[in-house]
Amino acid sequence: MDLTIPTADLEWKERAKAFAETHLFPHEVALELNGHLPPETLASLRQAVIDAGLNGINHSREDGGQGLSLLQQTLVNEELGKATGGLWAVVWHPAIPLRYGTAEQKRDYLTPSCAGRRRGAYAITEPGAGSDPRLVSTRADRRGGKYYLSGEKWFVTTGDYADYLIVHAHVDGDPEKPTLFLVDKDLPGVRVQRIPKFMHTYVFGHPEFVFENVELAPSKVLGQIGQGFELTKDWFVEARLQIAANCLGAAIRAAEVANAHAEGRVQFGRPIRDFQAIEFMLADMAVEIMAMKSLVYRIAAEIDRGLDRKLVHARASAAKLYASEASGRVIDKALQILGGRGYMRESPVERLYRDIRVDRIWEGTSEIQRAIIGGQIKKRGLSAYTGWA
C-alpha cells in the first residue's frame, strides 16, 4: 500500500504555505487589534490570491476554478488554517452547489466568483432552525410566475463582504420543498439587521439578514425545487472537510510555537522541555496531530477515488468531529506550555485558542456529528468507520 503523497500535491501545499506566511500572517495582529482590515488591504489580498493561483480551488477549470482534487484542497486548507483571525477566508471557495447551476447561473455567479469578481455567502441558520433544517421558516411563495422570499437568517458568514447569498428556503412554506435561491444583496427587501460580535476575531462578519417579500425570478432557483436539502448536505460535506483541514493547520502551528518555546525557555537551569510534564504534553500533541492528519488525508483521498456518496457524508462528519475536538486539546496544551505568554493576544496560540472553539459548533455541532455517526453505525454497521476500503 503506497501512502506517498504525489509531488504535484505537495507543490500545492508549499504554494499555500508560502501564501499564508507571506500574505496572511503579517496582518494577524492588526486584524486582532482593530477588528477589521481596511478595504485597500482586502483588495490587495484578493489580488494576491489570484496571483498565487489559489482562487476557486474547489471548482473545475471549465468553470473558472483551479480543478484541485479534494486531497489537494485539504493540503491547501491545512496551510491556510495556520493563520489566525479567520484570514484563511480571504481565499474564496465558491459554494459547491453552484456547480449544479444552469449555464446562465454559472455565467452570472460561479465563473465570476471563481475569478474573484463576485463573492457569495450561504444562508441557512435561523433563530429557530439550526441543526434541524426542517424547522426553517424562511419561505418562497409562488405568485404570478415568480417567487417572493420572506424570512430571517442568522450567522451568515462573510455575508457583509459578499454581494449575493445562497438562501435555503421552503417553497410555499412546505418543508418537503426545501430549495436554494440565488439572492443578490442589492435587491429591494434584503437588509442586514445587525452584525453581532463573537468570541473569535474573523476577517469578515456574520450578519443577520432579513428578507421582506423579495421578488425572485424562476431563474434564481439553484438546482430543482425540493432539492435544497441534498445540495445543502453537499455544501456541509465540503465545509466540514475544510474545517477539519483548517483545524489540522491550526494545531500544527500551535504545537510548533509551543515546541520552540519549550526548547528556548530555561528554568531551574535547563530547558523546560526536559521536564517530563512538558515533554509528555508535547508527545500527546504530536500524536493527536498525527492521528488527525492521517484521518483527514485518508478521507479526502477516499472521496477522490469515488467513495460511495452515503459514506462521504458519514466520514466527513467523523473528520470534522475529531479534528475540531483534537485541535482544541492540542492548542490548550500549547497555551499551557507557553504560560503567561500564551495568554497574550500578541501570541498566535492565544488567538488560535479562541478561533478554534467555533469549529465544534458551526457547520454542525459536535453533537450533530455524533448523531450522524451513530445513525450510520445503525444503518451500515461499525465497518463504515472501522473497516478499510
Q: What is the pLDDT of residues 207-227, one digit of tens each?
A: 999 999 999 999 999 999 999
My answer on whether 183 and 144 are in the same domain is yes
Contact by Cβ (8 Å): 79, 16 = yes
My answer on whether 302 and 161 are in the same domain is no
Residue recorded with cell 444552469: 102
Residue recorded with cell 503567561: 340
My answer on whether 367 and 239 are in the same domain is yes
Does any domain span residue 56?
Answer: yes
Helix spans in 265-340 (H):
276-304, 309-338
Of 56, 89, 115, which closes a domain? 115
Does any domain span residue 54?
Answer: yes
pLDDT of residue 389: 62
My answer on whether 84 and 20 are in the same domain is yes
Measured in degrees and rounded to the nearest 5, phi and psi for residue 141 equal -90, 135
Does any domain span residue 296?
Answer: yes
Q: Is 60 exposed, middle or buried (0-12, 13-18, 19+ CB in 10 A)?
A: middle
Per the document, the length of the chain is 389
Say how many Å lie between the first and final Cα of the chain, rounded: 12
DSSP 56-87: TTTS-GGGTS----HHHHHHHHHHHTTSSTTG
pLDDT of residue 130: 81
pLDDT of residue 34: 95
Instruction: Please tell me the pTM assigned to this model.
Output: 0.96
Average pLDDT of the segment spanning 239-247: 98
My answer on whether 19 and 105 are in the same domain is yes
Distance (Å, whole) CA 245 – CA 334: 19
Q: In the predicted model, what is the mean pLDDT of the chain?
A: 96
Distance (Å, whole) CA 55 – CA 94: 9
Does any domain span residue 2?
Answer: no
Does any domain span residue 258?
Answer: yes
Q: What is the pLDDT of residues 67-107, one digit of tens each?
A: 999 999 999 999 999 999 999 999 999 999 999 999 999 99
My answer on whether 218 and 251 are in the same domain is no
Share of the chain above pLDDT 90, in %: 96
Of 85, 115, 145, which closes a domain? 115
Contact by Cβ (8 Å): 58, 238 = yes
**DSSP label of 277:** H
Residues 6+ apart with CB under 8 A from 15: 52, 53, 54, 76
User: To 10 degrees, the CA torsion angle through 107, 112, 118, 123?
Assistant: 50
Distance (Å, whole) CA 238 – CA 303: 11
Measured in degrees and rounded to the nearest 5, phi and psi for residue 167 equal -105, 125
My answer on whether 249 and 380 are in the same domain is yes
User: To 10 degrees, the CA torsion angle through 319, 55, 75, 26?
Assistant: -100
Average pLDDT of the segment spanning 362-371: 95
Average pLDDT of the segment spanning 240-254: 98
Looking up residue 102, the CATH number of its domain turns out to be: 1.10.540.10
Q: What is the pLDDT of residues 291-304, one digit of tens each?
A: 999 999 999 999 99
Number of domains in the chain: 3
My answer on whether 265 and 330 are in the same domain is yes
Does any domain span residue 375?
Answer: yes
Find residue 146's DSSP bridge partners: 143
pLDDT of residue 249: 98
My answer on whether 233 and 364 are in the same domain is yes
Distance (Å, whole) CA 192 – CA 199: 21
Of 224, 245, 276, which closes a domain? 224
**DSSP label of 36:** S
104 is catalytic: no
Q: Which helix (H) or strand (E) holds 18?
A: helix 7-19
Question: Of residues 208, 302, 350, 363, which has the active-site annotation?
Answer: 363
Please compute, for residue 149, the number of CA atoms within 13 A of its CA located in the half-sphere on the CB side: 32
Looking up residue 375, the CATH number of its domain turns out to be: 1.20.140.10
The closest alpha carbon to 180, from 128, 219, 237, belongs to: 219
Average pLDDT of the segment spanning 4-24: 97
Average pLDDT of the segment spanning 141-160: 97
My answer on whether 111 and 201 are in the same domain is no
Q: Is 188 exposed, middle or buried (0-12, 13-18, 19+ CB in 10 A)?
A: exposed
- State the Cα angle at 134 between 128 and 135, rounded to 5°: 20
Does any domain span residue 217?
Answer: yes
Residues 6+ apart with CB under 8 A from 189: 149, 211, 212, 213, 214, 215
pLDDT of residue 97: 97
Distance (Å, whole) CA 334 – CA 282: 8
Distance (Å, whole) CA 305 – CA 298: 11
Q: Which domain holds residue 220?
A: 120-224
Q: Where does the pLDDT of residue 8 fall: very low under 50, low under 70, confident under 90, or very high at 90 and above?
A: very high
My answer on whether 243 and 365 are in the same domain is yes
My answer on whether 216 and 284 are in the same domain is no
Q: What is the pLDDT of residues 296-346, one digit of tens each?
A: 999 999 999 999 988 999 999 999 999 999 999 999 999 999 999 999 999
Does any domain span residue 328?
Answer: yes
